[in-house]
Structure 1
Amino acid sequence: MSLLTPVQQGGWAQGAAPPSSPPRMDLAQRAAGIELGATEYTVVGAVMVIALAALAFGYVLIREVLAAGQGTAKMQDIAKAVQEGASAYLNRQFRTLAIFAVIVFLLLFALPGEPAERIGRSIFFLFGAAFSAAIGYLGMWLSTRANVRVAAASRESGAAREKAMRVAFRTGGVVGMTTVGLGLFGAALVVLVYAGGAPRVLEGFGFGAALLAMFMRVGGGIFTKAADVGADLVGKVEHNIPEDDPRNAATIADNVGDNVGDCAGMAADLFESYAVTLVASLILGTAAFGLHGLLFPLIVPAIGVLTAVIGVYITHARSGESALTAINRSFYISAGISAVLCAVAAMLYLPSTFAGLTGVSEEIRGTAGSPALIALVAVVIGILLAVVILKLTGYFTATENRPVRDVGQSSRTGAATVILSGLSVGFESAVYTALVIGVAVFAAFALSGSLAVSLFAIALAGCGLLTTVGVIVAMDTFGPVADNAQGIAEMSEEDEDESAKILTELDAVGNTTKAITKGIAIATAVLAATALFGSYTDAITAALADVAGSLRPTEYFVYAPDVLVGVVIGAAVVFLFAGLAINAVSRAAGAVVYEVRRQFRDSPGIMDGTTRPEYGRVVDICTRDSLRELATPGLLAVLAPIAVGFGLGVGPLAGYLAGAIATGTLMAIFLANSGGAWDNSKKLVEDGYHGGKGSEAHSATVIGDTVGDPFKDTAGPAINPLLKVMNLVSVLIAPAVVFMTVGDAVPSPVRYGIALLAVLVIVAAIVVSKRRSTAIDESSATDGEDDKVVNGAP
């Protein structure tokens, strides 16, 4: 069995020894020779216009959201404190990451390649990073202004529930339209400027988006869950007060965290999924479909922009209907419209035979089958995958279904059984979801006998899933906005009975929509990573041609010991990454717990409402701890592939990617769904089941929820960009790895020196991280008083 099999038209047949020099022109050379004609320029121009229209529609939605009422003065004061804390955190995070971005920019420029290609790749790395940061910041900025408007809408007379839901969902619609608009515009701009050279330049664009998204997911995830866990443990469990009680010093930090983690982090995550899937599609499309393959992956998400507009506008709950039912209905309708329009586009734009393609090898031109039909089916597979993931994830995480009800039932016997039942839900759901994703990948792969076409079909399935991203982002942002709205209403002590009921329902729905979007984001990550795996093999083929070298058969067989070692290392890195993220939350949450306890102990007036808590101190702790934890997982993601590639070689690096993709898929789903089940089982008990709030069952589910918080909102989601960062790093370094491991130009000591340096940096970062003990004492919890980001409080 061959694990590393380059695209057939530029490499060697599966299972056979590679020749000393590939007999045909490689993909990069053919792609660089592709030129756009008048028709192609028109198509790209139309795609760019649609992308700009998405941004314009997002602006219209912003004005609609901001036009809603903001409630009482006290509600506005609380919202302002959340706004200040979130802005201060992200501003500091971006200053930290700017230094890292400049370093990577210079390293990308130093990689092998034509000067124009290196310059473009480095510049568009900054574009991808800047777009990812901008979308994350917009998600935070608008959500911190929409939350108070949703709370105010829930108190209005006449259709309050519908108004609150509309404001929350259209807030997500703004972020969704910006995500698809900037992603599509960036990819189309590169194609417009570089034509056939676009795929290599887009590697930088995707890498920038993925790297920033990973940092924002990790940093925001640590912030939000440190505050959430600390607030729950001290407030709910120790003092038996509500989740968003203003007497709890961690409440403002908790609400800030919802925005910097769930809104900013997830928006950046889905943007990089969008960008990286487009990158993989364009790279593989030029090999499989030539000029048509360079443009069709832009047409499909352009259709998704149109259907996203429809999905956002038609979302409203009918009288007596669940908000989740209304949101799901809009998703299904938009997905169905996408499938029909993509089918029409495939039939109109793509030829019915491979002989009608331009810019492909003679081998591809002689392939049996219809490009139009293959593309149509592949896109529909991706859309259907999104629908199935929505149903499957909803089943395991929604309050009305048996898995969550079983977890809630287990609360009657204590926290231990809650944790055990939640783990069971996570493990079981990971199997089913991974199998569904696997079926989708295999079905797309089986559409053609040509490896190049099959890999492109997998990438097109990812593009099909992208047509739903606008609505997916709206669903995800809906969750934290509703959660924040409930917190603001409770903290202002103006949550009337009917208003509280509306916001509680929307919050529970938001928990489910967040879990669903995490499932779909994971599916997108797997499709993109699998497609990038194909891009890696192409990069190896091109590099082998340059050095006139070859690989021994044992270097690309999956049963070769060194390749298996790569598989094990790839799987281990995913475990290590998740462990570091969860441990970081544990440390930061410990500091929050001690700080909140200290305030209750030193200021007795807090409990009777005569003394205001020092909210800013908790925000400081979360900001400090989350930012100092960014380096270790980032270095691990970037340097681990470098260590494996230069230390072990081309085949083990392929095994490393395979192990990371397989393990990352299961781990991310397990973490997301177990955390979602624990969270909603808590909501179930708080709704009055099994003794309701204040009961022993409630305390048990709170413990389960605090365990699940870093699972579903820190480690699990961060695995998505991790997979794509590692794949993109491998694609970028592939020529250098071949040059140093196959060619004779560079002595082995240099190669091993690079690998050793990467390992030493990783080890040093982990050692420094581990020295920050999880057993935080009270003095460490109050360190950093001079490092303030928020001076006041509501």
Structure 2
Amino acid sequence: MPGLSDSPTLARATVAAADGHQVSLSGGSFALVALVAVVALGSLGAAAYFRQEVLQATEGTPRMQEIARAVQEGAAAYLNRQFRTLAVFVALVFLLLFALPGDAGVRIGRSIFFVVGAGFSASIGYLGMSLAVRANVRVAAAAREQGAEPAMRVGFRTGGVVGMATVGLGLLGASVVVLIFRDDAPNVLEGFGFGAALLAMFMRVGGGIFTKAADVGADLVGKVEQGIPEDDPRNAATIADNVGDNVGDCAGMAADLFESYAVTLVAALILGKAAFGEEGLVFPLIIPALGAITAVIGILLTRARPGENGLKAINRAFYISAAIAAVLCILAALVYLPGSFSGLHDVTGGPDRSPRLIAIIAVLLGIVLAAAILALTGYFTGTDKRPTLDVARTSLTGPATVVLSGISLGLESAVYTAIVIGAAVYGAFLLGGGSVVVSLFAIALAGCGLLTTVGVIVAMDTFGPVSDNAQGIAEMSGDVEGPGARILTELDAVGNTTKAITKGIAIATAVLAATALFGSYTDAWQNAFSDAGATASDLSDALQLRFSLDIAQPNNLVGLVLGAAVVFLFSSLAITAVSRAAGAVVYEVRKQFRDNPGIMTYETRPEYGRVVDICTRDSLRELATPGLLAVMAPIAVGFGLGIGPLGAYLAGAIATGTLMAVFLANSGGSWDNAKKLVEDGHHGGKGSDAHSATVIGDTVGDPFKDTAGPAINPLIKVMNLVAVLIAPAIVDLSVGGDRNDGLRLAIALVAVAVIVAAVTVSRRRPLAVGDDVASPARVA
């Protein structure tokens, strides 16, 4: 029967698990894992060093410091309230993980490390935010007093702190689990990865709603209606906009990239144990540990030469660090892995290819994929490349053509990105030589290869919002003019491109991790099937349909369509949430301009806090629905339709999520940079009709690139991890002595009811809220 016996290697691993066979961890391997933990601590030390360097920079004028403190207070207040809200979800999931079948020790460890993963993800997000809100004013001051290179160095070193902390905590969590649980480490790491992914998804959605509600509201009223600059202090939404950059782009994206790091390691360790035995449990830790070393090199090498574009300097450092990582990974594979499968611990048989060769090619594929995504995304969103230049040129014919050109650019770029990612996945798959589990492990190793660059990638991402905030502080304070202002404008444009690049790389890691987790899902349910003492011949025709992975079956096609549909619904919910919150911001800012004419003449100061409160309230209120959808949809499909349809559901979500995430990110990035081009003087410059057209395009793209698009990355991994975790329970209720179709269907119906209720409540919320909100006609 397809799905039960089509993978000899998986079947062999399944039988071994059923017989109680355990993978050992020898003294040498134990020492290597301990060394990885030391490297993780060293990475945290490097983060502390870079942080101290950033904080030593000058903070600028008193007015600049005053604005920076307002942003700091708003960002800290939002994250504190968000964490209190999310603590409830963490506590509930912690308890639910105990209810899943399995060994008591594994269940306890998995639940505890679920909290650890969630805590690490939250810590990375908070660290990214807390330093970024201190670094933004320092970047502005460096541009004002010292020039381009010092300003860029402060901004990129800020990102380096977050990057090294991401590497350090990810490695530390994974290595500690392996040291403590050894043979059971992959099962415990499921909880660690799930905690990281769940928190990242909530932070990505919540922070994205906050930042884009403020950004859209500020642009529509300030730029379009009042004709004032983006960060003009007369706009009541400016502080909220700058706060949003930090809680969305810094905290949210940092947590997102951390969970990508953690989940990829989880998938690699789960499959590595089955494919390579002891070596497969250790080698995936060695690769990112080497990446931690090269990340420090890449961060230190990021220096702009006189007259050089900042993006060129960042790209050069990335490619150098990636090349060094490739050489070190090749050496590690040659030294640690044997030349044939007979030399591996606890593994008999395998493809004809050398484990050494498989690992080297797979890791190199991941590194090359990162470089290819960097180049591809940079081409479609860079201010000096034809696609974005063409989008800017369409502003001469109005906002409709700007929107259409940006959408077409995003759709086209998604195809090329998907092809590149697909080629990497298939190339890694071919390395298995017919062994499915080795092929899936090769895909996971490609993800580990991509992880060697994650320290620099996170630095690139954080650099974007820091430079954006620096320009905002400079404009609001009015204390940075002439060359300093031009430097900050250039750094902001570079930051827009680096943010788009990191979003492309993040979706690539999501696909690699999700594909590997798909193999972990298959392994999980087949192990549970063997543990239940069932065989394919014991199943009725109806049960065989529920367990078969044959895509030609109608029930599996239904699962595939549902997986694709969930990505669309999730994106819709995120964009609608931004629209609702932005509507409330628009009305509030309009009201303040209408009721306080002195704001425009600088006689009255806007009430910034009211807009911050609106964004905070609405973003936290909107968190629940996307989160419940991500967790409950796989439960409904798995318990309702079966193992096969749930596998097809995951495949549909991965494929659609890849295309949707890239489309949303690149469309939004091109619109943003097209606006920057016009503001720099092209096609009429600021205040022209072309400028208004690009502002409209940018406001459409804001929730695309900073809310819905990036949130799809953790969505895919959350759903895959939920599937891995519930697979044994689905099997137990479907076959064997614990079979209970009534309970199984009841669980599915409850999950469906939760989804329907959450979506219904979300859809019934008004488009604008507040006691004093008027209709558009009244406030126009």
TM-score, length of structure 2 as denominator length = 0.97
Task: Provide the residue aligned with 2:84 in structure 1.
Answer: 95
Given residue 658 of structure 2, which amino acid in structure 1 is its aligned partner?
T
Task: Provide the residue aligned with 2:166 in structure 1.
Answer: 179
Which of 279, 299, 306 is the aligned partner of 1:312? 299
Q: How far does residue 24 in structure 1 lie from its aligned partner after superposition? A: 2.8
User: d(CA) in 2 for partners of 1:744 and 1:753?
Assistant: 19
User: d(CA) in 1 for partners of 2:534 and 2:42?
Assistant: 49
Which of 531, 540, 558 is the aligned partner of 2:525? 540
User: d(CA) in 2 for partners of 1:226 and 1:27?
Assistant: 52
Which of 495, 509, 532 is the aligned partner of 2:494? 509
User: d(CA) in 2 for partners of 1:111 and 1:743?
Assistant: 16
User: d(CA) in 1 for partners of 2:700 and 2:606?
Assistant: 26
User: d(CA) in 2 for partners of 1:419 and 1:28?
Assistant: 60
Q: How far does residue 772 in structure 1 lie from its aligned partner after superposition? A: 0.8
User: d(CA) in 2 for partners of 1:586 and 1:741?
Assistant: 43
* Cα contact 2:18–2:531 (8 A) shared by 1: no
* Count of residues paired in the alignment: 766
Given residue 549 of structure 1, which amino acid in structure 2 is its aligned partner?
A
SS at match of 1:779: coil
Task: Provide the residue aligned with 2:140 in structure 1.
Answer: 151
Task: Provide the residue aligned with 1:290 in structure 2.
Answer: 277
* Cα contact 2:411–2:663 (8 A) shared by 1: yes
SS at match of 1:608: coil
Matches within 5 A, 1:122-137: 122-137=111-126
| 1:418-448 C-alpha deviation (Å, 9 max, x unpaired) | 0000000000000000000000000000012
User: d(CA) in 2 for partners of 1:573 and 1:7?
Assistant: 29
Which of 360, 364, 384 is the aligned partner of 1:400? 384
Given residue 416 of structure 1, which amino acid in structure 2 is its aligned partner?
A
Task: Provide the residue aligned with 2:467 in structure 1.
Answer: 482
2:44 matches 1:59:
no
User: d(CA) in 1 for partners of 2:681 and 2:283?
Assistant: 52
Cα separation, partners in 2 of 1:644 and 1:669, compared to 1, 3 Å: same
* Cα contact 1:4–1:651 (8 A) shared by 2: no
| 1:567-624 C-alpha deviation (Å, 9 max, x unpaired) | 0000000000000000000000000000000000000000000000000000000000
2:166 matches 1:199:
no
After superposing the two structures, state which structure 1 stretch, 633-642 or 547-556, moved more. 547-556
* Cα contact 2:341–2:349 (8 A) shared by 1: no
Q: How far does residue 508 in structure 1 lie from its aligned partner after superposition? A: 0.2
Q: How far does residue 548 in structure 1 lie from its aligned partner after superposition? A: 2.1
User: d(CA) in 2 for partners of 1:370 and 1:699?
Assistant: 60
Q: How far does residue 4 in structure 1 lie from its aligned partner after superposition? A: 7.7
Given residue 204 of structure 2, which amino acid in structure 1 is its aligned partner?
R
Given residue 230 of structure 1, which amino acid in structure 2 is its aligned partner?
G
User: d(CA) in 1 for partners of 2:492 and 2:10?
Assistant: 53
Matches within 5 A, 1:21-32: 24-26=15-17, 29-30=20-21
Which of 487, 510, 518 is the aligned partner of 1:525? 510
User: d(CA) in 1 for partners of 2:274 and 2:678?
Assistant: 55
Cα separation, partners in 2 of 1:280 and 1:29, compared to 1, 3 Å: farther
Matches within 5 A, 1:306-705: 306-360=293-347, 362-364=348-350, 367-449=351-433, 450-550=435-535, 554=545, 555-705=548-698
2:759 matches 1:753:
no
User: d(CA) in 2 for partners of 1:104 and 1:575?
Assistant: 25
Task: Provide the residue aligned with 2:205 in structure 1.
Answer: 218
Task: Provide the residue aligned with 1:11 in structure 2.
Answer: 11
* Cα contact 1:219–1:626 (8 A) shared by 2: yes
* Cα contact 1:650–1:737 (8 A) shared by 2: yes
Task: Provide the residue aligned with 2:27 in structure 1.
Answer: 38
| 1:374-430 C-alpha deviation (Å, 9 max, x unpaired) | 000000000000000000000000010010011001000000000000000000000
Given residue 195 of structure 2, which amino acid in structure 1 is its aligned partner?
G
Q: How far does residue 2 in structure 1 lie from its aligned partner after superposition? A: 5.4
Task: Provide the residue aligned with 1:68 in structure 2.
Answer: 57
Q: How far does residue 777 in structure 1 lie from its aligned partner after superposition? A: 7.2
Given residue 46 of structure 1, which amino acid in structure 2 is its aligned partner?
L
2:103 matches 1:114:
yes
Q: How far does residue 775 in structure 1 lie from its aligned partner after superposition? A: 5.2
Q: How far does residue 547 in structure 1 lie from its aligned partner after superposition? A: 1.4
Task: Provide the residue aligned with 2:39 in structure 1.
Answer: 50
TM-score, length of structure 1 as denominator length = 0.95
Given residue 24 of structure 1, which amino acid in structure 2 is its aligned partner?
V
Cα separation, partners in 2 of 1:172 and 1:259, compared to 1, 3 Å: same
Tell me, which stretches of 5 or more residues in structure 1 are unaligned? 13-21, 783-794
Task: Provide the residue aligned with 1:299 in structure 2.
Answer: 286
Task: Provide the residue aligned with 1:18 in structure 2.
Answer: none
Cα separation, partners in 2 of 1:148 and 1:422, compared to 1, 3 Å: same
* Cα contact 2:15–2:530 (8 A) shared by 1: no
Q: How far does residue 25 in structure 1 lie from its aligned partner after superposition? A: 2.0
User: d(CA) in 1 for partners of 2:82 and 2:584?
Assistant: 20
2:707 matches 1:720:
no
User: d(CA) in 1 for partners of 2:524 and 2:696?
Assistant: 48
Cα separation, partners in 2 of 1:397 and 1:23, compared to 1, 3 Å: closer
* Cα contact 1:643–1:759 (8 A) shared by 2: yes
Task: Provide the residue aligned with 1:741 in structure 2.
Answer: 734
Which of 217, 235, 259 is the aligned partner of 1:272? 259
Q: How far does residue 38 in structure 1 lie from its aligned partner after superposition? A: 1.6
User: d(CA) in 2 for partners of 1:289 and 1:730?
Assistant: 24
Given residue 541 of structure 1, which amino acid in structure 2 is its aligned partner?
Q
User: d(CA) in 2 for partners of 1:178 and 1:122?
Assistant: 23
Which of 57, 68, 73 is the aligned partner of 1:79? 68
| 1:99-120 C-alpha deviation (Å, 9 max, x unpaired) | 1101000000111110110000
SS at match of 1:363: coil
Given residue 294 of structure 1, which amino acid in structure 2 is its aligned partner?
L
* Cα contact 1:226–1:586 (8 A) shared by 2: yes
Cα separation, partners in 2 of 1:508 and 1:237, compared to 1, 3 Å: same
User: d(CA) in 2 for partners of 1:27 and 1:191?
Assistant: 21
| 1:14-57 C-alpha deviation (Å, 9 max, x unpaired) | xxxxxxxx983238944xx2222221121011101100000001
User: d(CA) in 2 for partners of 1:498 and 1:5?
Assistant: 68
| 1:645-692 C-alpha deviation (Å, 9 max, x unpaired) | 000001000000000000000000000000000000000100111100
* Cα contact 2:18–2:530 (8 A) shared by 1: no
Given residue 207 of structure 1, which amino acid in structure 2 is its aligned partner?
F
| 1:150-177 C-alpha deviation (Å, 9 max, x unpaired) | 00001114xx110000000000000000
Given residue 441 of structure 1, which amino acid in structure 2 is its aligned partner?
V
* Cα contact 1:76–1:148 (8 A) shared by 2: yes
Q: How far does residue 7 in structure 1 lie from its aligned partner after superposition? A: 4.8
Given residue 238 of structure 2, which amino acid in structure 1 is its aligned partner?
T
Tell me, which stretches of 5 or more residues in structure 2 are unaligned? 776-780
Given residue 422 of structure 1, which amino acid in structure 2 is its aligned partner?
G
2:132 matches 1:139:
no
SS at match of 2:16: coil
Cα separation, partners in 2 of 1:436 and 1:10, compared to 1, 3 Å: closer
* Cα contact 1:6–1:541 (8 A) shared by 2: no
Given residue 80 of structure 1, which amino acid in structure 2 is its aligned partner?
R
Q: How far does residue 549 in structure 1 lie from its aligned partner after superposition? A: 2.2
- Aligned identity (percent) is 70
